[in-house]
Amino acid sequence: MNHGFARPWRDTLLLAVSAVTLFSGVTAAYAQSTIKWLHLEANADRLKTWQDIAAAYEAEHPDVKIEFQFLENEAFKAKLPTLLQSNDAPSMFYTWGGGVLKAQTETGALRDVTAAMDADGGAWRATFSQAAVDGLSIDGKVWAAPYQWGQVSFFYNKALFEQAGVDATTIKTWDDFLGAVETIKAAGIVPIAGGGGEKWPIHFYWSYLAMRELGKDGFEAAKNGDGFTGEGFVRASQKLIDLGALSPFQEGYLGATWPDAQAVFADGRAAMILGFQNTATVQNQTNAATDGKGLTTDQIGRFLFPLIDGAPGVATDEFGGLNGWVVTANAPPETEDFLKYLLDQDNALLQVKQNGILSTTLGAESAVEDPYMQQIVTEMAQATWHQNFLDQDLGPNVGRVVNDMSVELVSGEISPEDALQQIEDAFSLEM
């Protein structure tokens, strides 16, 4: 209803022009798209690198704002499922891949990045190691952009090997490895530093043995329905029992934590450790050793997990962590473009130099300075298969059983058949 307060047309036009100007100013001052970046990074240096990269992207794309959101590790795991179904869902978040990622894809809360990977003839896909992309793919779709990864391998104390008369370059097969363990022990030296108290460090052995026994195709078939009770898994489990029968670990290893095991190796109290890619770095050694010094890089050697004679597993099949960035279903369309920027070679090199990560971006290995890390990242770039940690890949429930059974096998408390049935039972509940 008109109450007689209509403005003259010129005033109306001026008001309309002012409104357009006002809202144009809002558009210029505030981004049209906000990418909510949820992370769990407590390292201030690494977060600063991300913030600098985000600021550079914003400067090139004034219509996009990057908003950082933080959750502590355990809170992240507990709250993320609810958060993904809410109106406050992040645009992108950190993933370990594996069973948890698979479960998230089934909720409809995520957007796969396959189209972005394959655009322009697969230009973005080609910037990564294919093994890393495969490791974050499910049923032919890529569900996360690869960010960083790691490789588990054996590190050894050169002086203790020399004292025992063992040549590490001759350790190629599992039988070679067991022979070295026996020789080292006969010399009065603890062969391996172990962390059985936390269980997951022992699952490294069972996982690698299963990978070597079955190869990629056999292992993938197990996860896709063939199950974990087959002969290859029986042989792998028996080999872990055989290792445990040699009493290769330090006294009390069943109650030892991973930091305890690292200290045993860094102090020179054991000849070997099956550890992460950063085991030999100066920082890791000084942090792990009880004297605050540890072994120097030139005192440490390294070899890949041994092969099994006659089995399909190959040396370029590797085991370790794999992380990436997931995009949610309602994320702004610019999210994939930002991820391309975050993970391009220039920014990958920056993150390697400043934060010491092992990037999945091809070419980033040139920035790695530590000789062992350099060797590892070069191997990973050529990997034929990268198997994520099984307590991630199979999901937390099955992974917990794998960890438990690994310790029971190595300590001789269970038969291969009984251990594998427990793994199979847990896995069947998740199918």
For residue 250, give the nearest of 237, 238, 260 by alpha carbon. Answer: 260
- Of 257-266, 377-386, 401-410, where does mean pLDDT reach its minimum? 377-386
- Mean pLDDT, residues 121-148: 95
Q: What's the pLDDT score for residue 369?
A: 87
- Measure the CA–CA gap between 204 and 74, rounded to whole angstroms: 23
Mean pLDDT of 162-190: 98
**Is residue 226 scored above 90 in pLDDT?**
yes
Rounded to an integer, the average pLDDT of 397-417 is 97
User: Average pLDDT in the 260-283 region?
Assistant: 95
User: Looking at residues 70-84, what average pLDDT do you find?
Assistant: 89
pLDDT of 284 strictly over 70: yes
Q: According to the model, what pLDDT value does residue 11 have?
A: 36
CA-derived radius of gyration, the chain: 26
Q: Work out the end-to-end distance of the chain between its first and last CA atoms, rounded to an integer number of angstroms.
A: 64
Which pLDDT score, from 0 to 100, does residue 23 have? 35
**Cα–Cα nearest to 262, from 251, 249, 246, 273:** 273
**pLDDT interval class at 7 (50, 70, 90):** very low
Residue among 384, 334, 322, 329 at smallest CA distance from 359: 322
Kindly tell me if the per-residue pLDDT of 26 is higher than 60.
Answer: no
The CA-based angle 348-113-350, given to 5 degrees, is: 5
The span from the CA of 209 to the CA of 402, in Å, is 13
Cβ-contact 278, 284 below 8 angstroms: yes
User: Average pLDDT of 219-235?
Assistant: 96
What mean pLDDT comes out for the span 13-28? 36
Mean pLDDT of 19-43: 65
pLDDT tens-digit series, residues 299-338: 999 999 999 999 999 999 999 999 999 999 999 999 999 9
Model confidence at 49, pLDDT cuts 50, 70, 90, reads very high
Percent share of the chain, pLDDT over 90: 79
pLDDT digits (tens, 9 = 90+) for 149-175: 999 999 999 999 999 999 999 999 999
Closest CA to 93 of 327, 323, 322: 327
User: Which residue has tokens 């697969």?
Assistant: 122
Q: What is the pLDDT of residue 42?
A: 84
- What is the rounded distance in angstroms from the CA atom of residue 141 to the CA atom of residue 130? 13
Q: Which tokens belong to 383?
A: 């990997």
Domain boundaries, the chain: 32-150+320-387, 153-319+394-430
Give the integer Cα–Cα distance in Å for 24 and 16.
12
Cβ 93 vs Cβ 326: under 8 Å: yes
Q: How confident is the model at residue 55 (pLDDT cuts 50, 70, 90)?
A: very high
pLDDT of residue 247: 98
What is the mean predicted confidence (pLDDT) over 346-359? 92
Beta bridge partner(s), residue 70: 39
CATH architecture of 32-150+320-387: 3-Layer(aba) Sandwich (3.40)
Q: Which CATH architecture best describes the domain 153-319+394-430?
A: 3-Layer(aba) Sandwich (3.40)
User: Cα separation of 160 and 296, whole Å?
Assistant: 14
Domain 32-150+320-387 identical in fold to domain 153-319+394-430: yes
